Chain A
Amino acid sequence: MELLISIVKIVVVMGVMLGIVAYIVLLERRLSAAIQNRIGPNRVGWQGLLQPIADVIKLVFKEDIVPYKANRFIHDLAPIISLAVALTTFAVVPFGDKINLFGYDIKLQIADVNVGILYILALTSLGVYGLTLSGWSSNSKYALLGGVRSSAQMISYELSMGLAVLGVVMIAGSLKLDAIVEAQAGWKWNIFLQPIGFITFVTTAFAETNRLPFDLPEAEPELVAGYHTEYSGLKFGAYYLSEYANMFVSSAIITTLYLGGWQMPFVHSFGFSDFWISIIQVLGFLAKVIIIVSFFIIIRWTIPRFRYDQLMNLGWKFMLPISILNLLLTGAAVLWGIL
């Protein structure tokens, strides 16, 4: 029975997540358009609501071109790594409390790993392989430059990311994401307790997901399309999807670590039944995630792209000291019992 519940959970979460990611693409396109005083895709379906489906159909029917002298096997493998990493990271993110369905208490989290945060950090580091290998196997200088940049960028920012997360871990006293969410009950959200950590984490999350202002691996003006220059058709689709899946997952992680996860203050004071409270919590979690995603999109049209040396300077000379400082401050606060 446990196994069956797990499988059902995986299927449902995967389906819902892919749907949400597809619509994040639409959200990005419409919001970007609105920011640029355009309308955006609004032809397929009502207000363009079927646009993601049309996009997917288009990508499926496109020709798959592998460049001359490219390493065919790695060229095929790289997008799969990217997509797999982006989708599996969500497995440890709790998106709700327990829910009671048909007499079973179902935990709204696919895998309750007791080192959840380490799992996330490990998998996001694996994501580099997808980008670097794609650049390396494409036999194209632009792709190679993009891949090399992505590896350097991710390694530099992973460090500050880990240190920023440590502050949260210290407060919660556990690596379990569940426990971290539990610790933020009420208004004790980590964004208020850890403002510096929040800022560093969000910045590094931008760098990890290759979003502007840190999208150096695919900097269009210099590198055509960066690491996925030589990809077309379904494989390009996989990269496209994994980029947005990454964005969704990092928003989910930001929500979990800093915005109280599925915790909705005062939700118990309205007197709903337990079932509806669970539903509201899941929806609240999704709402927070969507807000962070919109934040990602707005930042994209606000801050111009960093130069490569600026990116490295920011990472090593600014983000790293600040996250260490944050760590020390949190340590002191925990030691003297302030937090």
Chain B
Amino acid sequence: MKQKPIVHRKDLHWWEQFYIPQIINGMRITLSQVFRPKFTRQYPEEKWNPPSSFRGRPVLVEQNGVERCVACGLCSRVCPALAIDVQASETELLKERYPVRFEINMLRCIFCGFCEEVCPEEAIVMSKEFELVFRHQEDAIFGKEKLLLPADKLKDRLEFLRKNR
């Protein structure tokens, strides 16, 4: 856009120094905004679908009925808010290790996405969910049952991660 020339006060015509035509012009612009479309989203009725780059609450990816996580503890280690608690155990499956307990304290989580970045198995990713409301502090600690989400529900994010690796 071309820059408009700067107008100094002394350049103004005496009629312009009254500012009244300018004020009326300004009011015309102000009023014309009334008829423009509104930006407001009527939230609870009209939900927002975030783009795949959105970092909502972290979830565990579930594949073939079990989590991908191998309980290496890297996420727990990297988490700046100390929100993740992992306890490892052995399993008969190919991956040999799995987390018996995996808890994220959603009151501590700052949605930085470090856990997702550090995970070697792509087992923990940021979902699109941003509606987190709790009645009690205990409710805010999400165990495995709340964290597990099937991989096909997280396709967007997984694809996004692969593209940007």
A45 to chain B, nearest CB (A): 16
Closest B residue to A31 by beta carbon equals B34
**B:16-45 near A, CB below 8 Å:** 20, 23, 26-27, 29-31, 33-34, 36-40, 42
State whether the Cβ of A269 lies closer than 8 Å to any Cβ in chain B. Answer: no
Q: Is the CB of A38 within 8 A of B27?
A: no
Tell whether, in the assembled complex, residue B33 and residue A199 are in contact, meaning their CB atoms are under 8 Å apart. no
Pairwise interchain contact B26-A35, C-beta atoms closer than 8 A? no
Q: How far is the CA of A306 from the CA of B139 in the complex (A)?
A: 51
| Contacting residues, chain B, for A36 (C-beta < 8 A) | 33
CB pair A35 B33 closer than 8 Å: yes
Q: Is the CB of B30 within 8 A of A37?
A: no
Is A111 an interface residue when CB atoms closer than 8 A count as contact?
no
* Contact-residue bracket for chain A: 10 to 19
Beyond the given pairs A34-B33, A35-B30, A38-B40, 17 more chain A to chain B contacts, judged by CB atoms under 8 angstroms and listed by A's residue number, are A33-B40, A35-B31, A35-B34, A37-B37, A37-B38, A38-B38, A39-B38, A39-B40, A39-B42, A298-B27, A298-B30, A298-B31, A299-B27, A302-B23, A302-B26, A302-B27, A303-B26
In whole angstroms, what is the CA distance A25 to B70 when docked?
59
Q: Whose C-beta in chain B lies nearest to the C-beta of A43?
A: B42
Chain A residues with CB under 8 Å of B38's CB are: 34, 37-39
A299 nearest CB neighbor, chain B only: B27
Counting CB contacts under 8 A, is A192 at the interface? no
Q: At the interface, yes or no: A272 with Cβ under 8 Å from chain B?
A: no
- Using a CB–CB cutoff of 8 Å, the interface residues on chain B facing chain A are 20, 23, 26-27, 29-31, 33-34, 36-40, 42
Q: Is A301 an interface residue (CB 8 A)?
A: yes
- Distance (Å) between the CB of A206 and the closest chain B CB? 11
- In the complex, 17 of the A-B residue pairs with CB atoms within 8 angstroms, ordered by the A residue number, are A34-B34, A34-B38, A35-B30, A35-B33, A35-B34, A37-B33, A37-B39, A38-B38, A38-B40, A39-B38, A39-B40, A298-B30, A299-B27, A302-B26, A302-B30, A303-B23, A303-B26
Q: Please name the residue on chain B nearest to A39 by beta carbon.
A: B40
**Per-position contact with B for A20-53: 1 when CB-CB < 8 Å, else 0?**
0000000000010111111100000000000000
Write out the residue numbers on chain A whose beta carbons fall within 8 Å of the beta carbon of B23. 299, 302-303
Give the most central of A34, A35, A302: most B CB within 10 Å.
A302
Q: How far is the CA of A179 from the CA of B141 in the complex (A)?
A: 75
Q: Closest CB of chain B to A294's CB: distance in Å?
A: 10
Say how far A102's CB is from chain B's closest CB, in angstroms: 44
A-side contacts of B20, CB under 8 Å: 199
Kindly provide the distance from the CB of B111 to the nearest chain A CB, expressed in whole angstroms: 27
Closest chain-B Cβ to A289's Cβ sits at a distance in Å of 19
In the bound complex, CA of A299 to CA of B27 (Å):
7
Q: Which residues of B contact A301 (CB under 8 A)?
A: 30
Minimum CB–CB distance for A300 against chain B, Å:
9
Chain A residue at minimum C-beta to C-beta distance from B44: A43
